[in-house]
């Protein structure tokens, strides 16, 4: 296994491919991996370029937007629309131009040579002349049962998306990093009061972000404290917390919005060791493009962007990946598969 942030210089374990017969596997010009805004946009553009893309829906079809309610910041939709509906529309538009969508998760890849080999759900083989990775990132949650149940009903991991629903209310943000500072400061535009609940007595956030939060009258820090339950049947009606020093528990019943800011995890595990990633396992791409270090493999959306993480920016990079893949394919052509399926055109790194 490769370590985080290492360069992909060799290749990882290929044992998952050992018993899989690739001799009858289909070969596609473009395989898109993941169905958030980036993936559907990449599919739309490659479909319109007559590349007949195949898109795998992944474990969470539609991605993070399917866990939000109204999306009010996507340009062109002045009335806003529901996240899941937005993703249905992305899908419909991509399919209208010939995208083939399939349920399934790309679990293993072999990027040594072209066409690249992919395994879907551990067993189904597919060859791909180009691969567009748009697997997104997942917000981290505490993992509490009631927290999970109330996602989209007062529990959110995206203040930018959901903050405006809490006008005049009291909300809590968990975390002590830059995201927690940024999100709590942002939330004060809407909420009357914002608690920042941090498990230690010292923040991880940069000084400037800390100071901005400290200076904000609407923000109150709750130190050495962890959230142990989220209360409410159909909406958040409070949270239960424990003080890590004293062990004392209490209910904060004024909290009606509960925001997580404890980091994101990019969904890039199947590609570890194959493509260069940063220390947090976000995929590294060449400046101003979606090229990874593997020829014919492109990355877009939140799997490659830990900075902006918006639907519209993800869609934008999905478009770039499609254009990059199309140009790359017309420049490099399609690699031949030998009759045995074993010998493939070596890729020059």
- Which residues are at the interface with ligand NAP (CB under 6 A)? 142, 174-180, 182, 199-200, 204, 226, 261-263, 306
111 CB-contact burial (10 Å; exposed 0-12 / middle 13-18 / buried 19+): buried
Q: Which is nearer to ligand NAP, 20 or 242 (CB)?
A: 242
Query: Judged by CB, which is closer to ligand NAP: 61, or 176?
Result: 176
Query: Which of these, 41, 11, 7, lies nearest to 117 by C-alpha position?
Result: 11
Active site residue 300: no
Nearest-approach distance from CB 207 to ligand NAP, in angstroms: 11
Question: Which residues are CB-contacts of 96 (< 8 A; sequence separation ≥ 6)?
Answer: none
Residue with tokens 């904000």: 216
- Rounded CA separation 222/173 (Å): 10
Cβ pair 71, 65 in contact under 8 A? yes
User: By Cβ distance, which residue is nearest to ligand NAP?
Assistant: 177
Task: Report the C-alpha gap between 113 and 349 in whole angstroms.
Answer: 10
Catalytic residue among 10, 19, 50, 161: 161
Q: Nearer Cβ to ligand NAP, position 96 or 200?
A: 200
The residue among 261 and 315 lying less far from ligand NAP, judged by its C-beta, is 261
Of 10, 50, 110, 162, the catalytic one is 162
Which of 50, 70, 88, 158 is catalytic? The answer is: 158
The candidate with the shortest Cα–Cα distance to 265, out of 175, 135, 128, is 135
d(CA 93, CA 39): 12
Token pair 């998306």: residue: 161
Nearer to ligand NAP, 205 or 322 (CB): 205
158 is catalytic: yes
161 catalytic, yes or no?
yes
CB nearer ligand NAP, residue 44 or residue 213:
213
Q: How far is the CB of 79 from ligand NAP (least distance, A)?
A: 29
- Least separation in angstroms between residue 249's CB and ligand NAP is 16
Kindly tell me which of 52 and 160 has the beta carbon lying closer to ligand NAP. 160
What's phi and psi for 251, nearest 5 deg? -105, 130
Q: How far is the CB of 284 from ligand NAP (least distance, A)?
A: 15
Return the active site residues. 158, 161-162
């Amino acid at each position: 296994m490769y370590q985080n942030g290492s360069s992909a210089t060799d290749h990882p374990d290929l044992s998952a491919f050992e018993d899989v017969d690739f001799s009858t596997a289909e070969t596609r010009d473009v395989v898109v991996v993941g169905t958030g805004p980036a993936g559907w946009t990449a599919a739309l553009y490659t479909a319109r370029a007559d590349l007949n893309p195949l898109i795998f829906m992944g474990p969470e079809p539609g991605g993070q937007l399917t866990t939000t309610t109204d999306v009010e910041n996507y340009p062109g939709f002045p009335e806003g629309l529901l996240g899941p509906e937005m993703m249905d529309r992305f899908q419909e538009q991509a399919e209208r131009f010939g995208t083939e969508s399939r349920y399934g998760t790309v679990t293993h890849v072999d990027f040594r040579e072209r066409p690249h080999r992919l395994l879907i759900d551990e067993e189904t083989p597919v060859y791909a002349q180009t691969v567009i990775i748009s697997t997104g990132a997942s917000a981290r949650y505490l993992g509490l049962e009631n927290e999970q149940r109330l996602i989209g009903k007062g529990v959110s991991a995206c203040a930018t998306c959901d903050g405006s629903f809490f006008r005049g209310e009291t909300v809590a943000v968990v975390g002590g990093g830059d995201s927690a500072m940024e999100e709590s400061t942002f939330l004060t535009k809407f909420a009357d009061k914002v608690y920042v609940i941090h498990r230690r007595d010292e923040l991880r956030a940069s000084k400037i972000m800390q100071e901005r939060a400290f200076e904000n009258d609407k923000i109150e820090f709750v130190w050495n404290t962890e959230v142990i339950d989220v209360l409410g049947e159909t909406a958040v009606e409070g949270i239960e917390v424990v003080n890590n020093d004293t062990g004392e528990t209490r209910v904060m019943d004024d909290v009606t919005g509960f925001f997580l800011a404890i980091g994101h995890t990019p969904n890039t595990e199947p590609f570890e060791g194959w493509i260069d990633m940063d220390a947090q396992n976000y995929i590294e791409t060449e400046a101003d493009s979606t090229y990874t270090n593997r020829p014919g493999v492109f990355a877009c959306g939140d799997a490659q962007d830990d900075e902006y993480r918006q639907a519209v920016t993800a869609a934008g990079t999905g478009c770039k990946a499609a254009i990059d893949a199309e140009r790359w394919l017309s420049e490099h052509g399609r690699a031949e598969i030998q009759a045995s399926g074993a010998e493939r055109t070596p890729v020059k790194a």
